[in-house]
Amino acid sequence: MSIVDGAHTRMTDAEPSRSELLTVRNLTKHYRVGGNIFGRGAKTVRAVDDVSFTIGRGETLGLVGESGCGKSTLGRSLLRLVPIEGGRIEFEGTDTAKLKGEELRQMRKHMQAVFQNPLGSLDPRMTVGATVGEPLTQFGLPRRDVRQRVEQLFDMVGLDHAKIDAYPRHLSGGQRQRVGIARAIGLDPRLIVADEAVSALDVSVQAQIINLLVRLQRELELSYLFISHDLAVVRHISHRVGVMYLGRIVEIADSETLFATPAHPYTRALLDSAQTPDPSQRREQIMLSGDLPSPTNVPSGCRFRTRCPLAQQICAEIEPPLREIRPAQRAACHFPLTDITSANKPQETEPRA
């Protein structure tokens, strides 16, 4: 898969030149937790805090970051599965953040989800064929046509028709995830939010499901928000990748650029921690020290500064905005890693401090 990018676009912005399907602006989702019955003493969890990005048609945007950084909340907010505080979610030109009732229901046809645990999201008392057929019936497909469409969907995801009348417990993990995908594509959506969709599967099954997602993307011109803590998987499937830290996107770039030359120290630390230590590689690694601060109490200035080896005074005072570092790469850092040596090469020079 390659991204066809106009040179002029690459020079000015990290966004894709393909036409945009989804444009998210200043999306914010906070949770109130704790406190007494009057709300006194309650704290605000800044799970998603002023996040902006786009997803192009037929594009996969990967989303990575440590557990608790807000990835799932971002996915659920896009799908309007949780109420949001503010921001715009423009889907094919309509701000879906404002939709209610029937309009919201209709919009749901176009944005679907595939979650980590297919057994948890499949009804154990329903045959998997009925699970795949349910949204079709809900959206008005005549009953006599449902069986035929379900058979077609089973073909598309590589499941035998004999499985249509099986129950979830009779299927393997990979087969269940295929059912989840068949249900998600049944209404011909434009966008699928895949939240840790392959994380619970064995590596060989993961590869099969990823290949299936890639094939469906091509055949159906689907866009994906592909959420995963697994960098190798995200690298494989994504055209672009966003990195989240404490509710913010701190870096977003072409997949190739991000993995070859991460600009944010946090991205680099994530990549370093995912690498098997190789004694022949002598370059300085950025280690993540300390725990993730609580999203109820985010540090001033740059949120990453309390764990950042490059932090200076300014980092505590001014929050760095996302800005262009290289073509098709933006990072929110006062001291981005801009040396030309690849992060994967040994003998790297010290990052600029």
The tokens describing 230, both together, are 């697994």
Residue 197 interface partner, choices ligand ADP, Mg ion, none, CB cut-off 5-8 Å depending on type: none
Pick from 70, 174, 186, 242 the residue near ligand ADP by CB under 6 A: 70
Q: In angstroms, what is the C-alpha Rg of the chain? A: 21
| Smallest gap from residue 258 Cβ to ligand ADP (A) | 18
Residue 29 interface partner, choices ligand ADP, Mg ion, none, CB cut-off 5-8 Å depending on type: none
Provide the edge-to-edge strand list for the sheet that holds 43-56. Answer: 43-56, 20-33, 86-91, 94-95
Binding part of the chain for ligand ADP, among 69-77, 88-96, 106-114, 319-327 by CB under 6 A, reads 69-77
Binding part of the chain for ligand ADP, among 2-10, 63-71, 197-205, 275-283 by CB under 6 A, reads 63-71
Q: How far apart are CA 299 and CA 305, in angstroms?
A: 8
Residues 17-46 contacting ligand ADP, CB under 6 A:
31, 33, 45
* Total residues in contact with ligand ADP, by rule CB under 6 A: 13
Q: How far apart are CA 87 and CA 52, in angstroms?
A: 9
Q: How far apart are CA 229 and CA 237, in angstroms?
A: 13
Instruction: Please say which residue, 227 or 331, places its beta carbon nearer to Mg ion.
Output: 227
Instruction: Please say which residue, 71 or 248, places its beta carbon nearer to ligand ADP.
Output: 71
Residue closest to Mg ion, measured at CB = 72
Residue 56 interface partner, choices ligand ADP, Mg ion, none, CB cut-off 5-8 Å depending on type: none
67 lies in the binding site for ligand ADP (CB under 6 A): yes
Instruction: Please say which residue, 67 or 276, places its beta carbon nearer to Mg ion.
Output: 67
CB 34 within 8 A of CB 294: no
Instruction: Please say which residue, 69 or 182, places its beta carbon nearer to ligand ADP.
Output: 69
Instruction: Please say which residue, 16 or 70, places its beta carbon nearer to Mg ion.
Output: 70
The tokens describing 207, both together, are 């590869």
The amino acid at 171 = L
Residue 307 interface partner, choices Mg ion, ligand ADP, none, CB cut-off 5-8 Å depending on type: none
Strands 248-254, 240-245: parallel, antiparallel or unpaired by DSSP?
A: antiparallel
Q: What is the DSSP string of 81-147?
A: SS--SEEEEEETTEEGGG--HHHHHHHHTTEEEE-S-HHHHS-TTS-HHHHHHHHHHHTT--HHHHH
Instruction: Please say which residue, 45 or 194, places its beta carbon nearer to ligand ADP.
Output: 45
Kindly give, in sequence order, each residue whose CB lies less than 8 Å from that of residue 353, ignoring residues fewer than 6 positions away.
310, 312, 335
Query: Which residues of the chain form contacts with ligand ADP (CB under 6 A)?
Result: 31, 33, 45, 47, 65, 67-73, 295
